[in-house]
Amino acid sequence: AACNSSRTGALFHTTPVVFGLRTNLINSVPTNDQILVPETLLKKRKSQEKARAERTDAIQKQKAANKEKRGVIFKRAEKYVKEYRDAEREKIRLHRVAKSEDSAYIPAEANLIFVVRIKGINKMPPKPRKILQLLRLLQINNGVFIKVTKATTEMLKVVEPWIAYGYPNLKTVKELVYKRGYGKVNKQRIALTDNAIVEESLGKYGIVCVEDLIHEIYTVGPNFKQASNFLWPFKLSNPNGGFRPRKFKHFIEGGDLGNREEAINALVRQMN
């Protein structure tokens, strides 16, 4: 009995010590706030948070700038539509006035020409070959916009046996630029899939979108040279049935060569 009593006393005596050790162990586990983080890790976290905040701020600013830019582009497009419509209405009005007065309406001379090369280099003398290079018509079915001047008129006369040209209307200009338009960016041929491509190259001339580019070309504006040179020569397709034998005859003889005037629009539609 004495022995059992001493054992029981020992048991009851040691149990609090065990519980005390467990309690001390639990209390000794540090909380998240008590854990010391290395200073380098803290700096890295702060740097990442700062970069994240700056990136978010930049994205928000870019979104706001893009929204504002879209508004400007939309307003410009509306202005151009009104300008084109007013010009067409004025032309119709002048036609009617001339008809009522039993006279003929003579429209202003065209300032814009679209030129398409339809023949190769076979038996071509050096001079017309050089002119075609200057006009950037290096391959068959290449097309370019040209401003009407005395110099360009003389050049077209020299290369007339190898080209078809005429006066494009607004629809033709738009269809060419939107469907076949490529820009020259860092000497590379880049599709005009984004207004930013136009703005990057021509923004300093006030041309920030495709509609600006079309307007500058069609109206032969003050920056026509820069706009035209930015456009890569159009690569058109053969018309249905091809050119043969039409490309060996002048337009006035039933062929395709030479000045087609407004009939260039029908040819471009066949090739676009």
Structural domain including 126 reads 112-271
* pLDDT at position 149: 94
Per-residue confidence band for 245, with pLDDT thresholds at 50, 70 and 90: low
Residue 250 located in a structural domain:
yes
Task: Tabulate helix, strand, coil % of the chain (nearest 5).
Answer: 60, 10, 30
Residue 236 located in a structural domain:
yes
* pLDDT at position 178: 95
Judge whether 187 and 159 are in contact, CB under 8 Å: no
Least confident span in 78-82, 88-92, 151-155, 249-253:
249-253
* pLDDT at position 12: 45
Read off φ and ψ for residue 101, nearest 5 degrees: -100, 10
Residue 60 located in a structural domain:
no
> Domain with 203 in it: what CATH number?
3.30.1390.20
Per-residue confidence band for 34, with pLDDT thresholds at 50, 70 and 90: low
- Strand ranges across the sheet with 234-235: 234-235, 142-147, 112-117, 163-166, 258-261
User: What mean pLDDT value characterizes the chain?
Assistant: 84
Residue 211 located in a structural domain:
yes
More confident residue, 165 or 104: 165
* pLDDT at position 87: 87
More confident residue, 214 or 70: 214
The pTM assigned to this predicted structure is 0.74
Nearest to 137 by CA among 112, 165, 111, 110: 165
Three-state SS at 149? coil
More confident residue, 57 or 195: 195
Tell me 120's DSSP state. -
Residue 227 located in a structural domain:
yes
Instruction: Give the angle subtended at the CA of 237 by the CAs of 258 and 139, to the nearest 5°.
Output: 65
* pLDDT at position 218: 96
Structure tokens at 21: 């050790």
* pLDDT at position 14: 47
Residue 162 located in a structural domain:
yes
Q: How many domains does the chain have?
A: 1
